[in-house]
Amino acid sequence: MADEALSAGAVARRLGVAVTTLRTWHQRYGLGPSEHVPGHHRRYTPADMARLEIMRRLTADGVSPADAARWARQAPDPVPVDSVTRSRTRPPGRDGGGTIPVGRAGPAARGLARAAMRLDAEAINETIAHTLAVSGVIATWEGLLRPVLVGIGERHAATAGLIEVEHLLSRCVSETFAATSRAAATTGPARILLSCADEEQHSLPLEALAAALAEVGVGYRMLGARVPVPALIEAVTRTGPAAVVLWSHTRATADPAQLGALLTVPRRPLLVLAAGPGWQADTLPAGVVRPVDLAEAVALAVAVRDSLDQSRGD
Amino acid sequence: MADEALSAGAVARRLGVAVTTLRTWHQRYGLGPSEHVPGHHRRYTPADMARLEIMRRLTADGVSPADAARWARQAPDPVPVDSVTRSRTRPPGRDGGGTIPVGRAGPAARGLARAAMRLDAEAINETIAHTLAVSGVIATWEGLLRPVLVGIGERHAATAGLIEVEHLLSRCVSETFAATSRAAATTGPARILLSCADEEQHSLPLEALAAALAEVGVGYRMLGARVPVPALIEAVTRTGPAAVVLWSHTRATADPAQLGALLTVPRRPLLVLAAGPGWQADTLPAGVVRPVDLAEAVALAVAVRDSLDQSRGD
DNA sequence: TTATCGACGCACCAATCGACGCAACTCGTA
DNA sequence: TACGAGTTGCGTCGATTGGTGCGTCGATAA
């Protein structure tokens, strides 16, 4: 039988803090029972408990209590962890000819793959630009670019060829994303840091994220590929970002210690995202979030930006 | 609506300078919190922040800090966002400090170096974009970007630090060049192939060349970094470019055999350019041209394009 | 009677303070 | 070309401030 309204002592015991601390949190941070008349006992509803739970988890992760309280106070609905569905079935590409298996990614992907195969930079750019203008960054990446790049990568792994195709296409995608980022105006200071893991030289997905962030007006700092850990730490301590996204493409570059190091800097970022297929969920340090796809990464970044916009400058 | 009063650390992080520097600015230039009792912590109001913002912007433009402070100190209190004036007067900039040696590359380079040092992506982009619009790609590269990049590189080699600065600046430059390339319309088919040498992962100068080519309307194909020789040969035989530019940054990646291979493909390119400091003049195969700088590379490329235009159309 | 209330104070620690000095850059001068 | 002078960003050091959790105390709600 669930609790309808917990007393201060019960909540304190449940959270593992002193009762006085609950009172302090209430009067210092405004983090208390939603309806409470002075002089009367506090009654914590489940919604209040959820807020306090966020507070406890963030402080336990090392976030400064003031920031944690701000984050907890106006936490909208709990983060849509693991948005279900998203069935990313990969049909066996039984395409054996001179083309690229793009699965059911649609005719545009097939056209793009063909243009890439013939090293036709102009057609590549045209296709990407068109889809980008129509569908936006996220859809273009997930529905067009990633399938084609993955397809070329698989064929390249199998035949040890097509490297020039991969290079040219990557280059075109990179340029397009850069142009997209440059065209969009961002609001507010850059509070999100994008970086590849140490030795990770695959930065295209991170560029997609950058373009997607720019598209929705979120400022960011992009460090690019092959960022040594000390450099990353230095950048974090010097700029104090609200969120850090660390991309790892393969397991070889996915040293969880890098993430752990991010959590131990003086003013640690509120959110640390481990992005990319390199990371393994069970080896990630506590407090690190692992977005499943580009859309979720963007959503999280936007959430952080919004919640920090109306706080003081950390 | 944002913050009410920022701490010294928050301001420092926001501006990208060290906390000690803020204190120095306060006592040397009187550029500090309007109300501050000695011994107590500094609390920067939005008005104070606006002043510091002016200081940051001016120094990013290459103005000497003393002058910038004088200018910032007598800023009107009513916080007019930027968009004002932006008078780009530059009093004889004297400067020193922990910045990057840019020699006599001009105040813009000094400002860019400072912006890079403080990881200020916005100021970096602004400076580059402005110079690019005024002076064009070649002048921007030779007079602004290359000096600063070289300066940071040297300092990095000496101190084993600044990697994050180098990464961020490279990223910004890369994005700007990409956007430039994308904005310009090229005439005719792409008959020039740009590629890095095998294992060469330094592609920024090649991106500068790409942008410069796009600026004058010359089409190109860019393969990017780390192009294996077979992939390069494959690309050349399949697209039959009129000219190939192969970039090598260090001697380790400058195997002359790559150039030789280019000359033996069925329909060999008219012009093979060995660009970059990696190549050594005396080891180059006959028939390979070694441009001394960006301007010469562009001139050669344009010459090839023109000579092809009025010959057969092929 | 018991748990909680509001107010106050204390101990701990990170952030910051003021002062000083260093290193590196530019420029003028020889 | 070399060198001293002036500038300037920032690291370091010991002391202090402020933020934070929590214990204590008389009064009060349950």
Across chain B, the runs of DSSP E, i.e. the strands, are 192-196, 221-222, 243-247, 271-275, 288-289
Q: Which residues of B touch A201 (CB under 8 A)?
A: 201
Is domain A186-313 given the CATH code 3.90.180.10 in the classification? no
> How high is the pLDDT of residue B88?
35
For B143-152, the pLDDT digits (tens) are 899 999 988 8
- CA torsion through residues B39, B45, B49, B51, sign: negative
Å between CA of B99 and C1' of C21 = 18
Å between CA of B10 and C1' of D9 = 18
> How high is the pLDDT of residue A24?
95
- B5 vs B103 pLDDT, higher one: B5
Cβ–Cβ under 8 Å, residues A178 and B174 = yes
> How near does any CA of chain A get to the CA of B268, in Å?
18
| Range with the largest mean pLDDT of A70-79, A166-175, A259-268 | A166-175
Q: Which residues of B touch A222 (CB under 8 A)?
A: 121, 168, 171, 175
Closest CA to B122 of B89, B155, B83, B169: B169
Of A52-61, A88-97, A172-181, minimum mean pLDDT range: A88-97
The answer to whether strand D lies under 7 Å from the CB of residue B155 is: no
State the pLDDT confidence band at B310, using cuts at 50, 70 and 90: low
pTM, two decimals, is: 0.85
CB atoms closer than 10 angstroms to residue A231 = 22
Q: In the numeric block, which tokens belong to residue A51?
A: 């807020």
Distance CA A93, CA B172 (A): 38
> How high is the pLDDT of residue B158?
74
Do residue B223 and residue A174 have CB atoms under 8 angstroms apart? Answer: no
- Helix (H) or strand (E) holding A8, with range, is helix A8-15
Q: In the numeric block, which tokens belong to residue A128?
A: 């990407």
Question: What DSSP character marks residue A283?
Answer: G
Domain boundaries, chain B: 8-178, 186-313
> How high is the pLDDT of residue A209?
97
- Helix (H) or strand (E) holding A194, with range, is strand A192-196
Q: In the numeric block, which tokens belong to residue A172?
A: 């075109």
Across A142-189, the runs of DSSP E, i.e. the strands, are none
Phi, psi values for residue A192, rounded to 5°:
-125, 130
For B176-186, the pLDDT digits (tens) are 999 999 888 88
Burial of A190 per CB tally in 10 Å (0-12, 13-18, 19+)? buried
- Helix (H) or strand (E) holding A72, with range, is helix A65-73
| Radius of gyration from C-alpha coordinates of chain A | 23
Mean pLDDT of chain B: 85
Contacts of A277 (CB under 8 A, 6+ apart): A248, A249, A250
Interface contact A64, partner B, CB < 8 A: no
> Residue type for B84, please?
V
Interface contact A168, partner B, CB < 8 A: yes
pLDDT at A311 over 90: no
Distance CA B293, CA B44 (A): 48
> How high is the pLDDT of residue A145?
95
CB atoms closer than 10 angstroms to residue A302 = 16
> Pairing state of beta strands A271-275 and A221-222?
unpaired
